[in-house]
Structure 1
Amino acid sequence: MTENAVLERMLSEADPAPTPRDAAPDARALATRDRILRTSTAPSRRRVRAVGWASGLVAAAACAAVAFTLMMPTGAAVAGTPSPLAFGESETVAEIVDAAEVDLAAVPGPAEPERHVRAASWTLSLDDAKITPQFSVLTWNADLSGRVVMYAGVPYESTDAVANNSAEVRSSGEVTMDLVMAPGEFSTPVPEAPGASHDELMAALHAFGMPDSPNAFEVATAITSLIEQWTLTNAQHAELLSIVENTAGVEGLGIATDRLGRSVLGMRMVSGDGDASNVLLVSADTGRIVGLETIALRDVGGAPVGAVTGYRMWGLGEGAAE
């Protein structure tokens, strides 16, 4: 099955209609499909993050509703946009990575990389003043078969500061999409489990589009693309953090509470064009990379300065999405 065909299936699963499955897509469906393909395969320089096909897989079910909404530069969210995370006193990148390595050595993690990822993200809609989180469970196999199930989160007001920062992001349990992929239908640049060495993980990051001489923003983008397809071991997370530490242009932030109520430390990277920043979130309890928040630094592409333009979290416990 071609990538276009899988995307058309996803749109059908996400928004079922009485129209027969084998009917030709109408103009609206074609326009939606084309918009997904444009943003997945040829992102502009102002994209929040470069997404591979499988990352787009998780987000595509809500693509028709996803849009940038406005937030004042002071950080007061409006029109369904979450407030940025509030970080405490800054720490250096070396301090963050050193602490994470201690936690990674002490806390149990997966024995080997797993083709199973549970994630939570924001679905920003211009049609709804409330913030609507979305949960996903992706499972795939060596033969490139798999399944992705999407769950609606419980909407809340953007003005609700407690909800923004104190574990008020939770699933409603409502399934919004359940897509089963036959062997060969799942697409990934890293079909075999990556190793834990520096060279092996660098090869995996390059496979996800990281250039030969990446800036810190590009490193974070590739790392999170890898994490969206693989649940990695603690040793692999430690090596990825070492790669981040040894990349120029990374700023250490303090501690914060993420939108699932977890204690996290942040490391910020600015894009090469200066349009956006990525904040990589590291668990203060396990040392694992557990999230990414992207913020607009310039008023471009409809996203004003200070707007949160993307947010994903990983490492959810069993049952958190359901």
Structure 2
Amino acid sequence: MGHDPDAMNDAQIDALIRGLDPLRELKTDELLTLREQATLQRIMVAPEQRASSPASVPPARRNFPLVLSMAVTAVVAMIAIVLVWPPAARRAVALTPPPLQLSSSSQPIGEVVSVAHRLLTRSPREPHAERKVSSVGWYLQMDHLTTGDTRSVIAPQVIHLTWEADGSGREVITAGVPYLADGSPPPDPDSAPAAGSQLSETTYPAGGFGSPIDHIPGNTEADVRELLSAYWSPVAADPSASDIITAVSNAFGSWTLTDEQHAHILTMLSTAPGATVAGTAVDRAGRDVTVIAADSTTNPDFRQFLLISNETGRIVGTENVRLTPLGDLLPAGGVTSYTLWETR
């Protein structure tokens, strides 16, 4: 058998994985609870093998390690890439969604937050946070077509989660509308699950859903800081803007917060080092948003975006972008993941 000079050895694959992980210093095997392990197992199964019947997971340990949804998203992306990346592929192609089209804004971050505060007081929603989440998310994934072309299929996942204080709950994941990086539909309908098809249904027994906080968080600034720091510990002291966005990504994977809690998060962000107003945009759900940017403090190769609705003032999404190229795999500015909330 001849030797392929472009084939990746184990060390190169390890380096590739580290380069894709915005939290590369964290040991992912110490971060995964049963919930995330089930997610990874589901992603690694071929689409035709995925069962739509309800599944359950055993109870989690009471003293589980803190799980970071941002890190898990990166891990899932890495697994998908390593499983399907062809060693001999030589052509650089578009693998990710186009970046947000940002319109420049002269607004300082304090003014952006003040406007959001006014919107948040117009029609207050639920008086307390809720143990439920509805989101649309995407992570980097590639399909190697039989023609030899490597194309990106953007396959969003729609998540509906509800859970209780005892750690029981239910999570249903369905497929969003798939598309190629240029916005066109996939030429092969079997390259991604059909929109609306159920990918999984997980029932969590008592103790099965991992969350570092199970009580309903209060609406004071101290309560909100406690909540965020439980999901990302640097928030407890003097957090950077990147720390706050990371904490939001993690906490919003388990909670739907009140308008008052959103206001406190935005106030914290307005005074945190590293936050800048990147501009305004139309997000991937067609909503007008203002985008706050922060370079990652855990990996300088990444920038994080937080999306604020210009209609409600609420935080409605986050995105991660790689600032430096990664060979032919990712160009500088490539989107590596996004999550949208409240898309209705």
TM range (shorter): 0.7 to 0.9
Contact 2:67–2:231 at 8 Å: present in 1 too?
yes
Provide the C-alpha distance between the structure 1 equivalents of 2:318 and 2:82, rounded to a whole number of angstroms. 18
> Which of 215, 228, 231 is the aligned partner of 1:192?
215
Alpha carbons of structure 1 residues 184 and 54: separation in structure 2 relative to 1, 3 Å: farther
> Which of 236, 240, 245 is the aligned partner of 1:215?
240
Contact 1:296–1:305 at 8 Å: present in 2 too?
yes
Contact 2:109–2:270 at 8 Å: present in 1 too?
yes
1:152 lines up with 2:168 in the alignment: no
Which residue number in structure 2 is paired with residue 112 of structure 1?
A: 128
The percentage of aligned residue pairs carrying the same residue is: 33
Q: RMSD of the alignment, in Å? A: 3.3
Which residue number in structure 2 is paired with residue 239 of structure 1?
A: 264
Which residue number in structure 2 is paired with residue 283 of structure 1?
A: 309
Alpha carbons of structure 1 residues 250 and 61: separation in structure 2 relative to 1, 3 Å: closer
Alpha-carbon displacement from aligned partner over 1:68-124 (angstroms, at most 9, x marks no partner): 999xxxxxx943300111111212211210110011001342221111100001142
Amino acid at match of 1:223: V
Amino acid at match of 2:126: P
The structure that has the greater radius of gyration is 2
Unpaired runs of 5+ residues, structure 1, are 19-39, 42-50, 71-76, 163-170, 318-322
Q: What is the CA-CA distance between 1:13 and the residue it aligns to?
A: 5.7
* SS of equivalent to 1:201: helix
Alpha-carbon displacement from aligned partner over 1:235-260 (angstroms, at most 9, x marks no partner): 00001100000111110132210001
Alpha-carbon displacement from aligned partner over 1:256-315 (angstroms, at most 9, x marks no partner): 100011111000011124221111000000000000011111235964421111111111
Amino acid at match of 2:259: N
Amino acid at match of 2:233: M
> Which of 77, 99, 107 is the aligned partner of 1:84?
99
Amino acid at match of 1:138: L
> Which of 195, 206, 226 is the aligned partner of 2:229?
206
Provide the C-alpha distance between the structure 2 equivalents of 1:227 and 1:4, rounded to a whole number of angstroms. 17
Q: TM-score, normalised by structure 1?
A: 0.74
1:226 lines up with 2:234 in the alignment: no
Provide the C-alpha distance between the structure 2 equivalents of 1:58 and 1:226, rounded to a whole number of angstroms. 14
Provide the C-alpha distance between the structure 2 equivalents of 1:107 and 1:78, rounded to a whole number of angstroms. 46
- After TM superposition, the structure 1 = structure 2 runs for residues 1-322 of structure 1, keeping only pairs within 5 Å, are 6=35, 9-10=38-39, 15=45, 16=49, 52=67, 64-65=79-80, 78-90=93-105, 91-127=107-143, 128-160=151-183, 172-211=195-234, 212-272=237-297, 273-299=299-325, 303-317=330-344
Provide the C-alpha distance between the structure 2 equivalents of 1:297 and 1:59, rounded to a whole number of angstroms. 15
Provide the C-alpha distance between the structure 2 equivalents of 1:308 and 1:98, rounded to a whole number of angstroms. 29
